[in-house]
Amino acid sequence: MKLNDFLLHSDVLSLSLAFMLLALSLASWVVIGWKWHLLSRVSQDLPRSVAAFWQAPGFEDARQSVAQFDRDVCVLPLLDATLLPLGGTLASCGDRHQQLTRVLRDTLQQVLRRLQWGQILLATAGAISPFLGLLGTVWGIVNALMGLGLGEGGQISIHEIAAPVGEALVMTAAGLAVAIPAVMGYNLLGRRIGRIEVELEGFAHDLRALLAGSGD
């Protein structure tokens, strides 16, 4: 099927579905490429940042050491959260352990939300693309059969049926071509985010224990 033939013979709905699939495909590949690069850097920087923190002689030295490795700012927010002024507010109620638990939990959620950005788009593309393709196929077949029914001569050849139906089935293949990379990207990236989340949660737990025990 040639692109010119599709553009010339398709109606508004078919063109709209095709452009929606194209937009979802481009957006999915952009998100997959960007997030793969981001998560690869975080996976490399996180162990270095944690190691730099524990090897430092003091907290301020540790923060400066972490800043050299934490290119995507995933560890530094946890360190900064422990220095937030809490006096004179409801946030200062409770002991130091409770305060640290609250600020580290909230900061960790902010970091994870940034890492998870784009996952909803991939999940949406993977879920709806096959149905958009199927809708385009059904609509194309309906239009093809209606066009054949309006033809002249009373006889219909196999070619007259196969050509428009084959063109309509391309939409199903297009839907799958968009959905499969999106679903694979969602699953692979989700696993990498899960591993990073475990490491960040472990560091936040150790950091809370260290500061709550020292009373800093």
Q: What is the pLDDT of residue 65?
A: 93
Q: What is the pLDDT of residue 216?
A: 46
- In the chain, which residue ranges form alpha helices assigned H by DSSP? 3-9, 12-55, 59-69, 76-81, 96-115, 119-149, 158-214
Q: Please report how many Cα atoms fall inside a 13 Å half-sphere around the Cα of residue 11, on the Cβ side.
A: 11
What's the pLDDT tens digit per position in 53-92? 999 999 889 999 999 999 999 999 999 988 866 555 666 6
Confidence of residue 130 (pLDDT cuts 50, 70, 90): very high
pLDDT exceeds cutoff 70 at 169: yes
Domain that holds residue 112: 3-214
Over residues 195-199, the mean pLDDT reads 96
Q: 210 versus 96: which is more confidently predicted?
A: 210
What's the pLDDT tens digit per position in 29-64? 999 999 999 999 999 999 999 999 999 999 889 999
Q: What is the pLDDT of residue 175?
A: 94
Contacts of 78 (CB under 8 A, 6+ apart): 104, 107, 108, 111, 200, 203, 204, 207
pLDDT exceeds cutoff 50 at 94: yes
Q: What is the pLDDT of residue 10?
A: 61
Q: What is the pLDDT of residue 154?
A: 53
Instruction: List the one residue out of 12, 13, 14 whose CA is nearest residue 1.
Output: 14
Q: 155 versus 81: which is more confidently predicted?
A: 81
pLDDT exceeds cutoff 50 at 117: yes
Over residues 169-186, the mean pLDDT reads 93
Domain count for the chain, please give it: 1
